[in-house]
Chain A
Amino acid sequence: MTRIEQRFARLRTEKRAALVPYVTAGDPEPAATVPLMHALVKAGADLIELGVPFSDPMADGPVIQKACERALRYGTSLRDVLDMVAEFRKTDTETPVVLMGYLNPVERMGYETFAEKAREAGLDGLLTVDLPPEECDEVAGLLENAQIAPIFLVAPTTSDERIAHVARAARGFIYYVSLKGVTGSQTLDTSVIAERLEAIRRHTDLPLGVGFGIRDAETAGRVARVADAVVVGSAIVRLAEEFDGDPAGFAHAASEVVAGMRVEMDRVRASGVEASV
């Protein structure tokens, strides 16, 4: 069993939903990232999504664009990010880590080199927002061999036919983008999300994560009723801007957000409503 599978299996027996914080690697500075990852786990994170900074983050809103710019001030590269994963793995061998980013830095490194380095670093998954299943044949085999799960997105606009296609290519979990729009957008309708998740479950047994627009504990709790994992990005990354120059302050504030969501998500699940996993 992979680390991701183990983690979801345990959560299932505990009847809890996974809490997945996203942080951009190297934001606000490279030395802050690994301690921040540990702090997030301590605060209740089950899986870490680590953003790979990119100069042209087309699918991201202003909050994560700025995070990329802050990280790129220090030239944080994909190579550096994999080093951070390796560093994190020295003391945490259980929490899965998934990279989220854009294809070009991976393409530039070379898919074979990436797969090898990622395996060595102890990476568990790769989500490239601009790599749909149609274009991933070449990458998929290399990732599979390195035991790295290709994570794919399903959007509100994804047709039933495409969901089936995505489900065949996906490993680890499927990430449902709860909104049309970029990361950090507003307002969520959980009943609509629940319907969509049902539609996806008809095509896969993989755990379903939900992200985009989850900005507080209350929303995280509502989503945790229907999803197997709750991904929260901009609500945390926003704090990096506030605490630019104060990495410890950022880690503390981010941990508080995560801890608050953890409590609310577990409370909701414990109150008897659960996802149909």
Chain B
Amino acid sequence: MSKIDWAAFPDARGHFGPYGGRFVSETLMGALDELQKAYEQYMGDADFMAELDHDLQQFVGRPNPLYHAERLSRELGGAQVYFKREDLNHTGAHKVNNTIGQALLAKRLGKTRIIAETGAGQHGVATATVAARLGLECVIYMGEEDTRRQTPNVFRMRLLGAEVVAVKSGTRTLKDALNEAMRDWVTNVDDTFYIIGTVAGPHPYPAMVRDFQAVIGREARAQHLEMTGKLPDTLVACVGGGSNAIGLFHPFLDDESVEMIGVEAAGAGIESGRHSAPLCAGQPGVLHGNRTYLMEDEHGQIVGTHSVSAGLDYPGVGPEHAWLKDTGRARYVAVTDDQALEGFHRLTRTEGIIPALETSHAIAHVLELAPTMRPDQSIVVNLSGRGDKDLNTVAEREGITL
């Protein structure tokens, strides 16, 4: 691979090679300019960064551990498996790293109203949480289908004072929630800050969300060095929009010896067509403000996706992942619903950690990968969220009524 200066991406207009950019209606261009200026200004502002660090420590509970899963590693009989414990963050997933940062920006910009889209509800909960703490009005858009799959999170958001809008258009999942949030933003752009939950959307969101999530990889890198004296051999993370994966991968991009694997949702199987794996089975196009890999039909219409995990049930992916795929810096695989469920149970029984169904996709891949590696090698897996929210889904699939 020829040497790429990863720090040079995105370029000034938000492009990662052919991907990314700013494909939105004119009404939002001003707000995106304003956001980009604020983000550039405050990421270099000592007061802002001190406040962010303080909140990440005192409110989120960072740094979280890099946990050596000794029993699982022994059972798999190959590489040593380490889990970056984002599930231990306040609100139970990596999402809060980003919502804390964006909410502080919203405050600095004098916005009084926060909106967000959510799939599994983790980003919605993380947004409602920071909005409650900062006393900001909060509206969360969630596909109607997802509100049904993720009832505990809907209730959590409402407890936190957020209005949860069940979106009934299109396929009634994450992409439609995003459409609806965009419509809200375009209408209320003066007083409203849109906290996008993943590394997708128009520039500067993919770069900004990545920078807020990169704390995951920075900590994991330092922790792994301290624990083992060397860098990990492989990083594994699940990819829907891809924020937990970018957060883990980004600080390792210049470490050429470190392999990176993103795990998409193969749903009922790639060959069935019922999946959410644009990087593995889609092609480049433009949706939701950026150019990236998409799941679409021959006419450019976005097609319905499927995954047991609401958080991965999305037809696009962050543009930086599209770029990492094309450059070969990261590779992407997909695991099915059934494999993910196997990963879910295996981690729960072996290590006493109940992972989110999204995260279970990454674990499922590790179950296959670790045995092919040597015991002196290591894998760092982003344990991006905890599984409490998925208990209903798992029970239902297994014919159990709670």
Contacts and interface: CB of A to CB of B under 8 A. Distances in A.
Interface of A: 54-59, 61-62, 65, 72, 75, 77-79, 102-109, 129-132, 134-135, 152-159, 162, 166, 177, 180-182, 185
A27 to B, nearest CB: 15
A57 B25 CA distance: 11
Contacts of A159: 30, 33
Residue from A59, A130, A152, A180 with most neighbouring chain B CB atoms (10 Å): A130
Interface residues of B, number: 40
Nearest to B289: A130
Given A129-B25, A158-B26, A54 B301 contact: yes
A261 B114 CA distance: 39
Contacts of B301: 54-55, 72, 77, 104-105
Given A103-B23, A104-B296, 11 more contacts: A56-B175, A59-B27, A62-B169, A104-B302, A105-B299, A105-B301, A109-B300, A135-B22, A153-B26, A157-B30, A181-B187
B13 interface: yes
B398 to A, nearest CB: 33
B349 to A, nearest CB: 40
A132 B294 contact: no
Q: Which 5 A-B residue pairs are closest in the complex by CB-CB distance?
A: A108-B300, A105-B300, A77-B299, A155-B27, A181-B187
Contacts of B30: 155, 157-159, 162
A155 B23 CA distance: 15
Contact of A107 (B178, B189, B300): B300
A1 B62 CA distance: 65
B170 interface: yes
B186 A181 contact: yes
Contacts of B294: 104
Contacts of A103: 23, 286
A104 B299 CA distance: 9
A30 B178 CA distance: 29
A157 B285 contact: no
Nearest to B283: A108
Given A157-B189, A181-B187, A130 B27 contact: no
Contact of A61 (B23, B183, B288): B183
B25 A104 contact: no
A180 B26 contact: no
B2 to A, nearest CB: 25
Interface in B202-226: none
Interface string B331-373: 0000000000000000000000000000000000000000000
A78 B24 CA distance: 20
Residue from B187, B301, B302, B303 with most neighbouring chain A CB atoms (10 Å): B301
